[in-house]
Structure 1
C-alpha cells in the first residue's frame, strides 16, 4: 500500500489546493474533486489491501465508478486479492455494458482463482452467459472447485480446547460453530471464552466455496450435507481427543443458525441442543421437529430484516413444544450481543447443564 498511499496523498494535496470559486458559479474542478475525494480518502485511509477492498464494496451501492477505481487499484496491489478485485471489476464493467472489457477481467480472475457461485448467480453477466469466453471461464471455475473442494469445503476449520482440562474428568462435550454466509470455520483467540465453558469448540467450513478459500456457505437444498460435514468433523476430532458424542451442541449465526436449527430438528439423536443467532438465508425453515427434551437459545436484533425476524420466531415456535427455549431480543439492529464473550458462554453453560 505504500506506493499507492504516497500517490494518493500527492493527489489529495493537489486537489485540496484548488482555489474556491463563487458559490453560484459551476466549477468543473470542484465537481471533479467531489467525485475523486471518496476514492482518494479510501486510498489514504485503507490500512491494507483487504481494507481497500471493503471500502470499494461499500461504494458499489452509491457510485459504481468510484468503486471501480478502487478495485482497479486493489488488483495492482498484490496476488492475494487479484482474483476478487478482477471479478468485481468485470461485474461493474458488465453492468455498464462494456462486455469486452468485462470478459477480459473475468479471464484475469479465472487465472488467479474464481469459483462457480459468483459467475452463475451474478445477474451482471446475464448477457454474456452464452459467449465462448464466459463458458471457458465457467468451465475453469468448476474445474478449480472440484479440485479444491474435498480438502476445504465442509472441513474442520479450527479447534479450540478448554484452557484447563482435568484428566480424571469424563470426555468433554463439543460445541460445533456454524458460521454465516461467506465466512469460514476459523476461530481466533477471542472465541476462547466459549471453549472455557468446558466444551471443545469446533469450527466447520461451509459445504460449498463461495468466492475464495476463506469464503464458504452451507449448500442447499436441504440440510443433509451440513449434517454429514459435522459428523465427519466430529470423527476427525475424536480421532485425537476424547469427546462425548452424546453431548454435541450446535451454535450458528445467520445461515449457520438456520442449518443448526434444522439439524437439531431433524437429527435430535445426534445433537443435544442449539444456540441460534439471527437465523437467515434463502432456504425455508424446517416445519416439523423430532427434538424433545432439548435446550435451545434463540437470539436476534429487534430491528433486523423481516425475514430474519420471521425465522427467529419460527424456531421459537418449532422448539416451543417439548423443549426448553430461552429467547433474547437485542435492542436495535445488532445480530450478535455486544456482551457476547460473557452472555454466549452463559447460554452454553445453561444448555449443557441439561446433559442433552
Structure 2
C-alpha cells in the first residue's frame, strides 16, 4: 500500500477555522467573504450607534464618534486612501467621517465613510484583496446575498437590482435588528478589478430611503477604480539571487535521506516543524525537494524559523518562479516574520507580486488522462474527473492505484488543473460553480478524441477545495453527473451547497463524503454539513469520518476504497462500509 498522500500544503477554510496543518503552505488565500462580513458589520454599526435625537430624528454627527469634515464641494471627488479610487459625493450634505470606533476600529479595510446629515444615512467603501480574478462582481454579489440571508436574523427581504453600464451586482437589503428598534435598508454595489474587491454600502433609515436613494445610486455610478495594472509578460529576475546554501547532511538517525521517498520526507519535515525543530525540518525538506517534491516555499519557511535568512530568501525567490508563491500570504505568514524584519524584504515582496501576476495571467493548464488498458475510442465508458486541493496540481489523481481502478472498472480518469493558475505546479479553483464547471467541460473537450463519455456517467472526485467544488458542481447538474466523491472538503469562500435546488434527478444520485476525524474541526464540520445537505436534497449519501486519520490527506484506504466508491455511485456495487 502506498504511503498516505498529503495532497495540499495550503490553508483552506471550511466553516470557520482554517485547515490545521503543521505548515500553512503557499497557496493563495482568497477573501471573497468580505462581502457578507462587511455588510453585516456595517449594518450592525449603523443600527447600534448612539441615537442623535428622538426616535425617527436624524442622528447627530457625534453619534458616529468621529470627526466630520465640511460638506463636499459639488462635483469634487473623494479619493480613496488604500487603492487611489475616486468617488463623487452627490451633494454637500454628504460629509466624510474619520471614524474613531465602529467598523474602522476593527477593520482597516473600511477606507471611506460618509454621513448624510439630513437623513442620518451613511455610505462607506470597503477595500479588500479578492485574489481571485475568475470571480466577477456578479459572483461576489451572489455570495453577498446568501451570506446576508444566513447571517442576519430579522432580515425581511433581499433582492438584486442591476446598475446599468457597470460590471457590478446591485443589491438592496431590507433588514431589521433583533430588537426591532431600527429598520434600515442597505444598498450596495460590488466591484472587482485587478484582484481588488470594492464594496460600496449605503445604509439608510427605511423611512428615508426614497429621499436619499437617488444620491446613493449617483455615488455608486461615480465610482472610478484605479487603472488596471499592466500585464506581467515575463517572469521577473530574482532581485537578490543569493547563491544556494550548502547542502545539509544527507544522513539522519542512521538513514540516508537521499534514499527515502520524497513524500515521506515531506511528511517528516512537517512533523519536525510541528515540534519546533526547524533545523531538522529544513534538513529533511531539502532532500525532499532535491528528490523532486514540491515545497520550496516550505523550505524557505523552515530556514526562516531556523534563523538562516540568506537560505530562506534564496528558496523563497526560487519558489516564486519555479512553483508559485502567494504574495499576500507571504506578507502575513508568521513563519516569514524574520524575513519581513530584514531590509531586503522591501525588494523581495514586489518581486513576489510580479511573479504572482505573471502566473495568474499565464493561462497555463493541465489535463491528464488515464485510460483502461485495451480501450478503443468510440466505446462509451464512465469518466471519473479528479479535482485537486488548493494550490496543488492534477498529478494528485494519476498514479498506479488510479490505473488499477481504470483497468478493473473499465472507466477513464481525467485529472484537471484548477481554474486559476498560481504557478507552473500550483492551481486553485475559483469557487464559482459555473466557472469551475466550465473548466471541467473544457477538459472533457480536450480528451474527446481519445475517450467517449457515457452520457450521465461522469463522476467527480475531489480533495479539500476540489472536494467541495465536486459536491457543488455535481449537485447542481445531476443530469450530467452521476455523483461525487468528496474527500476532506474545504472552502475559502465558505461554500456549503447554498442555493442548490431539489430535483428528481438529484434524488436518484449517490455521493460519498469522507474525512479524517482528526483533521481540522472545520473540515469535519463541513463534511458533515455537506452530507446532511445532500441527504436533505434527496441524494443517497455514504458519510464516513475515519477515526485513524489525523492529517488533512487522502483517506488511508484510498487505493482499495476507490473502486468501491465508483461502483456504489454507478449503481453497480453495494453501499460502502
Q: TM-score, normalised by structure 2?
A: 0.46
Residue 173 of structure 1 deviates from its aligned partner by 2.3
Structure 2 residue aligned with 1:287: 498
Counterpart Cα distance in 2 of 1:330 and 1:72: 30
CA-based RMSD of the aligned residues comes to 3.9
Q: Which of residues 416, 425, 440 is equivalent to 1:230?
A: 440
Counterpart Cα distance in 2 of 1:114 and 1:206: 14
Counterpart Cα distance in 1 of 2:558 and 2:317: 43
SS of structure 2 residue aligned to 1:238: coil
Which deviations, in whole Å up to 9, do the C-alpha atoms of 1:137-169 show, x marking residues without a partner?
Answer: 21442254146x4223xx31x212233547885
Structure 1 residue aligned with 2:417: 205
Structure 2 residue aligned with 1:174: 383
State whether residues 475 and 483 of structure 2, in contact with CA within 8 Å, keep that contact through their aligned partners in structure 1. Answer: no
Larger Cα-atom Rg: 2
SS of structure 1 residue aligned to 2:440: helix
Structure 1 residue aligned with 2:566: 348
**Structure 1 residues 98 and 230, CA, compared in 2 at 3 Å: closer, same or farther?**
same
Counterpart Cα distance in 1 of 2:265 and 2:439: 34
More helix by share: 1
Which deviations, in whole Å up to 9, do the C-alpha atoms of 1:28-71 show, x marking residues without a partner?
Answer: xxxxxxxxxxxx32873452583555433332222344246517
Task: List runs of 5+ in structure 2 lacking aligned partners.
Answer: 1-245, 573-577
Residue 4 of structure 1 deviates from its aligned partner by 6.9
Structure 2 residue aligned with 1:255: 465
Q: TM-score, normalised by structure 1?
A: 0.70
Structure 1 residue aligned with 2:276: 63
**Structure 1 residues 142 and 347, CA, compared in 2 at 3 Å: closer, same or farther?**
closer
**1:96-111 correspondence to structure 2 within 5 Å:** 102-103=312-313, 106-110=316-320
Which deviations, in whole Å up to 9, do the C-alpha atoms of 1:257-291 show, x marking residues without a partner?
Answer: 11101112333344231122222343321223235
Higher mean C-alpha deviation, range 231-240 or range 95-104 = 95-104
Counterpart Cα distance in 2 of 1:72 and 1:350: 39
Counterpart Cα distance in 1 of 2:285 and 2:410: 48
State whether residues 173 and 199 of structure 1, in contact with CA within 8 Å, keep that contact through their aligned partners in structure 2. Answer: yes
SS of structure 1 residue aligned to 2:456: coil
Structure 2 residue aligned with 1:19: none
Higher-RCO chain (CA-CA 8 Å, sequence separation at least 6): 2
* Residue 272, structure 1, aligned to residue 482, structure 2: yes
Counterpart Cα distance in 1 of 2:359 and 2:492: 22
State whether residues 369 and 412 of structure 2, in contact with CA within 8 Å, keep that contact through their aligned partners in structure 1. Answer: yes
* Residue 141, structure 1, aligned to residue 352, structure 2: no
**Structure 1 residues 92 and 4, CA, compared in 2 at 3 Å: closer, same or farther?**
closer
More strand by share: 2
Q: Which of residues 542, 554, 557 is equivalent to 1:327?
A: 542
SS of structure 2 residue aligned to 1:276: strand
**Structure 1 residues 135 and 345, CA, compared in 2 at 3 Å: closer, same or farther?**
same
**Structure 1 residues 102 and 263, CA, compared in 2 at 3 Å: closer, same or farther?**
same
SS of structure 1 residue aligned to 2:256: helix
SS of structure 1 residue aligned to 2:259: coil
**Structure 1 residues 349 and 139, CA, compared in 2 at 3 Å: closer, same or farther?**
same
Which deviations, in whole Å up to 9, do the C-alpha atoms of 1:305-332 show, x marking residues without a partner?
Answer: 3222221221222221353313242551
Higher mean C-alpha deviation, range 105-114 or range 198-207 = 105-114
* Residue 297, structure 1, aligned to residue 512, structure 2: yes
> How many residue pairs get matched?
311
Task: List runs of 5+ in structure 1 lacking aligned partners.
Answer: 10-39
SS of structure 2 residue aligned to 1:151: coil
State whether residues 265 and 285 of structure 2, in contact with CA within 8 Å, keep that contact through their aligned partners in structure 1. Answer: no
* Residue 217, structure 1, aligned to residue 432, structure 2: no
Residue 105 of structure 1 deviates from its aligned partner by 5.1
Structure 1 residue aligned with 2:104: none
SS of structure 2 residue aligned to 1:344: helix
Residue 232 of structure 1 deviates from its aligned partner by 0.6
SS of structure 2 residue aligned to 1:329: strand
* Residue 315, structure 1, aligned to residue 524, structure 2: no
